[in-house]
Amino acid sequence: MSQPYSIGPYKGEVLLSLTGLFHVIRLIPPYPPRAVLEQILKERAMPTLVQWDNQVGLVGPEQTLWVEAEQSWMEGLIRQLEPLDPLSAPEIAEQALLEKLVENAGSRLWAFLDDVNMLLTHGEMALETAQASRRYDRVATLAQWLERLLKVQQSGEALAELWGAFSGKKRSMPAKHPSKKAPVPDKTRKRTKGAALPQKEYRLPILRALAELGGRGKTAEVLDRVYLQLKHLFTDGDLERAYDDPRRDEPIWRNRARWEIAALKEEKLVQSGGYGVLILTDKGAAYLHGA
């Protein structure tokens, strides 16, 4: 059973006490300002692991370390600390918090790169649309924007490689199920008349097209080859406009193929080689070979 714990007017509970020399406590809202909390705990001169909202801190007489952590992670750490003696517990807790900091930093870096890749994907799609509609002022603006963004992506990927070597953790692949970062076609504005090929049917034709181009090609060239592979399967539903907006004169088949390219990028089967350029990755080539 947990015991009540007081920090001035603020309340909490003791989750673990090792012979009175090391405490694990959880604060109960309303939370004290963190600076106030640290000052009070340091004055008590006892190493304390404290859960403060969604953060966990190790507060000792000399230093303080904070990290964002889930409840399940905190519970696992408590189980790890329970059998320890009070003199070694602070060191083990500090090591666990440092490892969690490394994990969190990597997760933020991967999320940043996912967002940059998504920006590149949508920017390339916007560039193609502008080229098709002959809006050359927008083409120039998008081309410059994509060129700058590509440099950010390349620098980010280099940083990710360095971070992976430092942390010993590789970047995890995106989940197969839909997520907030997964590209979702604009179904609210898309026509639904007639049967059309599902988006997944474009996967292998896209990979084959890139392989035929030597593993690298412009998106427009890839889509042209996809059309040649699938045109015998197309119906009126594939050939009608994807959007009601007359300025977006793009057929459904091409729209779905471009969304599948975005999905292939998410799965690292294809990567961007600059604005308007696609590269077949080793993983993509292996996927195609095994299909």
Helices (H), the chain: 34-43, 71-81, 89-132, 136-167, 203-212, 219-230, 236-239, 252-266, 282-290
**Structure confidence at residue 282 (pLDDT):** 94
Residues 261 and 154 placed together within one structural domain of the fold: yes
| pLDDT for position 209 | 94
Residue 31 belongs to a domain: yes
Q: Is residue 96 part of a domain?
A: no
Structure tokens at 291: 């299909």
Final residue of a domain: which of 25, 57, 87?
87
Q: Are residues 210 and 66 in the same domain?
A: no
User: Residue with structure tokens 């097209």?
Assistant: 209
217 and 166 share one domain: yes
Contact 289, 225 (CB under 8 A): no
Does 97 reside within a domain? no
Domain contains 48: yes
Are 126 and 257 in the same domain?
Answer: yes
The pLDDT value recorded for residue 241 is: 81
Residues 214, 136, single domain; the answer is yes
- The pLDDT of residue 183: 40
- Domain coverage including residue 182: 103-290
Q: What is the widest separation between alpha-carbon atoms in the chain?
A: 78
**Nearest 10 degrees: CA dihedral of 265, 270, 272, 278?**
-130
> In this structure, are 64 and 131 located in the same domain?
no
Same domain, 231 and 275: yes
pLDDT score recorded for residue 61: 83
Q: Are residues 217 and 138 in the same domain?
A: yes
Other CB atoms within a 10 A radius of the CB of residue 145 amount to 15
CB 14 within 8 A of CB 81: no
Number of domains in the chain: 2
Instruction: Confirm whether 98 is domain-assigned.
Output: no
Domain match, 76 and 107 both: no
Domain boundary among 34, 56, 87: 87
Q: Are 47 and 60 in contact (CB under 8 A)?
A: yes
Nearest 10 degrees: Cα torsion 222, 276, 187, 230: -10
Q: Is residue 158 part of a domain?
A: yes
Same domain, yes or no, for 155 and 82?
no
Q: Which of 58, 87, 116 is the last residue in one of the domains? A: 87
Q: For position 216, what pLDDT does the model report?
A: 93
Residue 164 domain flag: yes
pLDDT for 179 equals: 35
Strands 55-59 and 48-52: antiparallel
Same domain, 46 and 110: no
Burial class of residue 165 in the structure, from the number of CB atoms within 10 Å of its CB (0-12 exposed, 13-18 middle, 19+ buried): exposed
* Per-residue pLDDT tens listing for the chain (291 residues): 578 988 888 899 999 999 878 999 999 999 989 898 888 888 888 899 999 889 999 998 888 999 999 999 999 999 999 999 888 999 999 999 999 999 999 989 988 888 888 888 888 888 878 777 778 788 888 888 888 888 898 898 889 889 988 988 776 544 333 333 334 344 333 434 457 899 999 999 999 999 999 999 998 899 999 999 999 888 888 888 876 655 566 788 988 998 899 899 989 999 988 777 899 999 999 999 987
The answer to the question of residue 173 being in a domain is: yes
Please tell me whether residues 42 and 122 are part of one structural domain.
Answer: no
